[in-house]
Every structure is written in structure tokens, then in C-alpha cells.
Amino acid sequence: MCKHRLAEANSQSAASRQKRTPMQTIAIDGNSLSLEQVEAIATKRTPIALTDACLAKVKKCREYVDKVIARGDVVYGLTTGFGKFSTVTVPLEHTAELQVNLIRSHATSVGPVYSTAQTRAIMLLRVNVLAKGHSGIRVQTLQTLVEMLNRGVHPLIPMRGSVGASGDLSPLSHLALPLIGEGEAEFQGQIMSGAEAMRKAGLEPVKLAAKEGLALNNGTQVMAALGVLNLLEAERLCKYADLSAAASIDALRGTPRAFDPLVHSLRPHPGQADSAANLRNLLANSPLRASHKNCGNVQDAYSLRCTPQVHGATRDALAYARGVLTVEINSATDNPLIFPDEEKVISGGNFHGQPLALALDTLAIAIAELASIAERRVEQMLNPALNRGLNAFLAKRPGIDSGFMIVQLTAASLVSENKVLAHPACVDSIPTSANQEDHVSMGSISANKLTQVVENVRGVLAIELMIACQALDMRGISSSPVLERVKALLRQSVPRLEEDRIAYPDVNSAIDLLASGAVLSEVAAAGVDLY
């Protein structure tokens, strides 16, 4: 039995057993799901319910599918085989068996499984697609999938096995296995068979009817779900990047002149303007800045002076990705699509992951740059030739203590790993299914590596913030009120470095602090709005 998620599942089980406060149910209609709702359902387990209107559409679509089958029409995926077998007509008595075989034969993914939050996001997006009423699924099947999500039956979905061809065929087949009482799932913190998880949740496995297997495993929901979760975290990392940069700039006695609105009005990229505004607000009323106001420093190194331009370009790329994802999660991406009002069943290519692959690769490149420039600011603070009077490596006893010398190596390692991961997957293609699927997107690979890039960026920004706080302490003059509050928050888990100590707990504590969201809450409590 798969154990990849056992530690995570067990850690969540205690929380799941605690008394929960009632949460407002999110209505699912197939058309209006937001990225933020996806995250809430994935991470906070907010319950969902299908609207009456969408149920009516699903029912109407299914009635048309039954009509098509009854009159003996030859339709791909209903009365034919799949992929290269689309020319093989399947007798009516085998149409249900065809769908079960589809799920079983296509569940071929390998490797570690997706986290519970990622799995819940995938399940939700599949529900939302089916709720549009163009997939031909039965109401009872869709409702069972909704109840699996609400009751916490989480299929084990391995991460590797999709090329983004007919969407995410293989991982979505793993999603469908527990629905039919097969495969493996996590329930209440335990890994078990899909059949046992359904039984313990009080759910009956579904016996698939014609078209339903294809309705469940054809689409882009794996890459889209990962894209949504990573995009939202990337947006938060943009704020963290401005915050850690502001702390570094003040610690280095940098000048905020480069952030003047007049400069940015002449190059009005939205992200650049927002980042510059954040830096101005974070550095406002800094006694440290006032102490060297007339020092003669007219401009800083690029990693300080060009922060709005670099961070802003990332922000604008994220805006593009947000637009793509917002459209994608409310789109019908399976095949064939059913149009009961027009009495048509049309084979198309909405499952192709190219729009997502391009967006997610762009997102990985863009977010990686936040770490790249942050590591250069770290170098500025640690290098005695650059740090404007601070001790080498911010060690209290340079030579006896190494200070943050090797912590920078960790940041450099993460940045270098991101350079490899940022190589776009979407420029690759390998034909599959006897050349029927002769151009594929590799969007799932884009999504998987993006997850690691985001994690690495968080690590680098945490390191920069930790080092900047040490540098501020060594200046002996207060920074801005908001940066002082952030430093005080960090000091609750990462004390000032007075002499060398084991470093990795401090690094991990700083990373956990950023992941918790507490820093942004502290900034908001200080009355500073970050764009």
C-alpha cells in the first residue's frame, strides 16, 4: 500500500478530529469558480454544493447521451474505443465495461503522490468541469464525487505519468479509481484501499455507465489545479520579495530615490509601479534612513535600485497566468463534448494543455527571478567590500565565527536549481498512442516543476529576510516601524546571531514563518497595504 502521503495525512488527522467551526458552503455551477475559492476548498476543506441549475444541465446532457446510445449512433468514446482504437466500434452490451476498462488501463502514473491540498484542488476542478453539463456524466456519479470531496475521501494520485496530451489522462484515472471502489485513498489520516475509504465515508462506489469514464479522466485539471495553488502562493511571494528587499535596502543604507513615483510614471508597467509603491511604504519613516540621508550615495547596485523593475516584471507575468487559469478552471476540457440543445456530439481538442503549459512555464521563469535578485542582495549584505561597514558575513567575531557565510550557499543552491527547473517544458513534445496524439503540451511537467520552483523561492526569500534582520540589528538604529515589527516577529523563532550555532533550524523557522502567512498579517496590522 502506498505510503507517500502517510506522514502528511497523519499530521492532518489530529486537526480533522478537532471541532470545526461551520463554514459557508461554496456553490459550484461550472462557470464562476474563483482561484481563491479553489484554495479555500483545497486547504481549508470548505464544503461545496452543486447548484440546481447545473444539476438540470447535467441531467439534460445525460438524457441526450442515453438517446444517442439508444439509437445506435457511432460516437467516439461512447460506442468506440479510445485513441488509436477510435475506429473500433464497441457493441452496446460492452459500453459500460469499456468505461471501467478505460479507468483501469489508464491509471499508470508513478512516483510520489500529490498532497492532500493538491488532490482536493484536482477533485474540485473535475467537479466544476462536469458541472458545466457538457460531459455526459450522470447526476448520481457527479454527486458521489462531490461527497467524496466533502467527506474527505482523497484518491492517491501519483505525480508522474501525464504528458498533457488528452489532458491529464493517467492521473485523473487514479482520481476515478476510488469512485468505482478501486485504487487507493486517504481518509481521516489513513491510507487504505479505495473501497475501504468509500465504505468508511458512508459512500457507495459507482458503476460507470457509457461515457462516464471518459468524462472523468479527460481534461486538464491536474495541471490547472497545481497552477492555481502555485499562482496564489507566487502572488504572496511577490509581497514577501518586496518586504525582504526593503529590509535589505535599509540595512545596506540604500537610497529610496529610485522608487520615486516620477521615475515609474515614465515606464508605467503596472507591476513595476506596485512594487515601487510597496518599497516606499515599507521604508517610510525609517530612522536608519534618516541617519544617512546626506551621505552622498546617489545610486545603489542594480539588485537594490532595480528591484521594482525586476519584481514588477514578475508581477505582470503572474497577472497573465492568473488570466489563463481563471478561464481554464471554468472551461470544458474533455472530449467529446455534448451539446444537447444543438443535438450534437463533437470531438475537439479542448483537452490540449498548451495554454496552461505556456502560462505555467512563464510563471516558473518569472517567480525564479525573485530568488535570483534576492540572492544578489544577500551577497551585498555579507560581502565586506559591498555592505557599507558591516562585519564580514554579519559575524560578530569574523574569523572565529562564520556567520551567514554558508547560509548564502543554500540560497545559491536553490537559485541554481531554479535555473534548471525554469527551462520550459512546453517546448518539448513526444508523440504517443501510435502517433494519434502526435503533439503534446507537457503541461503536467510544467506544473510539477513549478511547485518546486515556488518552494525554492520561498526558501531564498526567507534567507534574505533573516540576513537582513541580522544586518539591521548590527546597524544599531531602528528601521521603519513596519520593518521593526516584522523583525520582532522573526525574532520569536530566529534569535539574533551572537555566535555560530547550528544554522538549519533558523533557516527552516524563517521558511515556516513565510509559509504561515503571519508576516503579511503583521504588515497589515502595522497599517501598511501591500499591492
Closest CA to 311 of 248, 399, 405, 400: 248
Domain match, 237 and 325 both: yes
C-alpha cell at 513: 514563518
Residue 231 lies in a domain: yes
386-425 burial, b if ≥16 CB within 10 A, otherwise e? Answer: ebbebbbbbbeeeeebebbbebbebbbebbebbeebbebb
Q: Which amino acid belongs to residue 310?
A: V
Query: What pTM did the predictor assign?
Result: 0.93
Whether the per-residue pLDDT at 381 is higher than 70: the answer is yes
C-alpha cell at 45: 476543506
Domain match, 242 and 198 both: no
Dump pLDDT digits (tens) for 254-280: 999 999 999 999 999 999 999 999 999
Domain match, 48 and 194 both: yes
Q: How many domains does the chain have?
A: 2
Given 76, 114, 302, 320, the catalytic residue: 76
Residues 6+ apart with CB under 8 A from 280: 256, 259, 261
Compute how many other C-beta atoms are within 10 angstroms of the C-beta atom of residue 148: 25
The SS3 call for residue 353 is: coil
Region for residue 202 given its phi and psi (left: phi exceeds 0; alpha: psi -120 to 50; beta: otherwise) = left
Domain end, chosen from 191, 219, 247, is at 219
Long-range interactions of 144-149: CB distance < 8 A, separation 24+: 144/179, 144/203, 144/204, 144/206, 145/179, 146/28, 146/48, 146/49, 146/50, 147/201, 147/203, 148/123, 148/178, 148/179, 148/198, 148/201, 148/203, 149/41, 149/48, 149/120, 149/123, 149/124
Domain end, chosen from 219, 247, 269, is at 219
Closest CA to 426 of 410, 404, 443, 402: 443
Domain match, 387 and 314 both: yes
Dump pLDDT digits (tens) for 434-480: 677 777 888 899 999 999 999 999 999 999 999 999 999 999 999 99
Q: What is the Cα–Cα distance from 444 to 441, expressed in whole angstroms? A: 8
What band does 300 get if pLDDT is binned at 50, 70 and 90? very high
Residue 193 lies in a domain: yes
Q: What is the Cα–Cα distance from 388 to 236, expressed in whole angstroms? A: 31
- What pLDDT score does 22 carry? 58
Domain match, 482 and 462 both: yes
Dump pLDDT digits (tens) for 78-108: 778 777 777 788 787 787 888 999 899 999 9
Domain match, 173 and 261 both: no
Domain match, 15 and 156 both: yes
Domain match, 318 and 170 both: no
Residue 418 lies in a domain: yes
Q: What is the Cα–Cα distance from 259 to 180, expressed in whole angstroms? A: 58
Contact predicate 459/411, CB 8 Å: yes
- What pLDDT score does 19 carry? 40
The whole domain housing 472 covers 227-335+345-430+437-525
Domain end, chosen from 219, 240, 264, is at 219
Dump pLDDT digits (tens) for 137-179: 999 999 999 999 999 999 999 999 888 877 898 999 999 999 9
Average the pLDDT over 515-525 and give the result.
97
Q: Look-up: residue for cell 542594480?
A: 302
- What pLDDT score does 497 carry? 97
C-alpha cell at 437: 496524439
Q: What is the CATH classification number for the domain harbouring 252?
A: 1.20.200.10
Q: Where are the alpha helices (DSSP H) in 180-301?
A: 194-200, 212-217, 221-251, 261-265, 270-283, 287-291
Residue 293 lies in a domain: yes
C-alpha cell at 278: 510597496
- SS3 of 373-392: the string is HHHHHHHHHHCCCCCCCCCH
Domain match, 192 and 303 both: no
Domain match, 142 and 265 both: no
What band does 520 get if pLDDT is binned at 50, 70 and 90? very high
Quick one: CA dihedral 266, 271, 275, 277, positive or negative?
A: positive
Rg over alpha carbons for the chain, rounded to the nearest Å, is 26
Compute how many other C-beta atoms are within 10 angstroms of the C-beta atom of residue 326: 15
Domain match, 241 and 265 both: yes
Whether the per-residue pLDDT at 5 is higher than 60: the answer is no
Residue 47, φ and ψ in degrees, nearest 5: -75, 160
Contact predicate 361/446, CB 8 Å: yes
Q: What is the Cα–Cα distance from 225 to 124, expressed in whole angstroms? A: 9
Residue 346 β-bridge partners = 337
Dump pLDDT digits (tens) for 7-43: 344 334 333 333 444 579 999 999 999 999 999 999 9
| Peptide linkage before 336 cis (omega within 30 of 0) | yes
Residue 340 lies in a domain: no
Q: What is the CATH classification number for the domain harbouring 26?
A: 1.10.275.10
Contact predicate 174/155, CB 8 Å: yes
Domain match, 215 and 231 both: no
Look up 114 and say whether it is catalytic: no
Dump pLDDT digits (tens) for 205-232: 999 999 999 999 999 999 999 999 999 9
Residue 531 lies in a domain: no
443-468 burial, b if ≥16 CB within 10 A, otherwise e? Answer: bbbbbbbbbbbbebbbbbbbbbbbbb
Q: What is the Cα–Cα distance from 510 to 467, expressed in whole angstroms? A: 10
DSSP string across 229-257: HHHHHHHHHHHHHHHHHHHHHHHTT--GG
